[in-house]
Chains A and B, each alone.
Chain A
Amino acid sequence: MSLLEISGVSQRFGGLLALIDFNFSLEERELVGLIGPNGAGKTTVFNLVSGFYSPSEGEIVFDGRDTRGLKPHQITALGLARTFQNIRLWNDMSVLDNLRIAQYHRRGYRLHDALLRTRRYRAAEKRIEVKCRDILQMMDITDLAEEFPKNLPYGLQRRVELARALSTDPRLLLLDEPAAGLNSADVDGLIRLVRWIHEEFQICIWMIEHQMKVVMSLCRRLMVIDFGRTVASGTPEEIRNNPDVIRAYLGDDSL
Chain B
Amino acid sequence: MEQFIQQCVNALQWGSFYALIALGYTLVYGVLLLINFAHGDIFMVGAYIAFFVSTFLLSTPEPGLSQGMTLALTIPATVILTSMVGVTLERIAYRPLRRKGAHRLYVVITALMCGLILENGNLALLGAGRKALPELLEKHVYTFGNIAVTNLKLWVIFTALLVFVFLHLVVTRTRIGMAMRAVSWDKFALPLMGIPLDMVIVFTFVLGSGIAGLGGLLFAVSYPVLDPYMGAMTGWKAFIAAVVGGIGDIRGAFAGGFLLAFVEIMVAAFLPSTFRDLFAFSILMLILWKRPTGIFGIPATTKI
Contacts and interface: CB of A to CB of B under 8 A. Distances in A.
A116 to B, nearest CB: 33
A230 interface: no
Nearest to A85: B304
A24 interface: no
Interface in A39-88: 43, 47, 52, 84-86, 88
Contacts of B304: 43, 47, 52, 84-86, 88
Main secondary structure of the interface of A (DSSP, over half): loop
A88 B304 CA distance: 9
Nearest to B302: A52
Contacts, number: 7
B45 to A, nearest CB: 38
Nearest to A47: B304
Contacts of A47: 304
A220 B220 CA distance: 78
Nearest to B304: A84
Interface residues of A, number: 7
Nearest to A46: B304
Contacts of A85: 304
Contacts of A43: 304
B193 to A, nearest CB: 27
B204 to A, nearest CB: 30
Interface in A78-120: 84-86, 88
A68 B73 CA distance: 67
A85 B304 CA distance: 7
A88 B302 CA distance: 12
A85 B302 CA distance: 13
B301 to A, nearest CB: 10
Interface in B278-304: 304
A86 B304 CA distance: 7
Nearest to A86: B304
Nearest to A43: B304
Contacts of A52: 304
A47 B304 CA distance: 8
Interface in B211-239: none
Contacts of A88: 304
A119 B1 CA distance: 70
A43 B304 CA distance: 8
A84 B304 CA distance: 7
Nearest to B301: A13
A52 B302 CA distance: 11
A85 B303 CA distance: 10
A127 B304 CA distance: 32
A47 B301 CA distance: 14
Nearest to A52: B304
Contacts of A86: 304
Interface string A20-53: 0000000000000000000000010001000010
Contacts of A84: 304
A52 B304 CA distance: 9
B245 to A, nearest CB: 24
A88 B303 CA distance: 12
A21 to B, nearest CB: 23
A204 B207 CA distance: 59
A33 B304 CA distance: 19
B201 to A, nearest CB: 27
B304 to A, nearest CB: 6
Interface in A133-177: none
A17 to B, nearest CB: 18
A182 B304 CA distance: 19
5 contacts: A43-B304, A52-B304, A84-B304, A85-B304, A86-B304
The 5 closest A-B pairs by CB, nearest first: A84-B304, A47-B304, A52-B304, A43-B304, A85-B304
Interface of A: 43, 47, 52, 84-86, 88
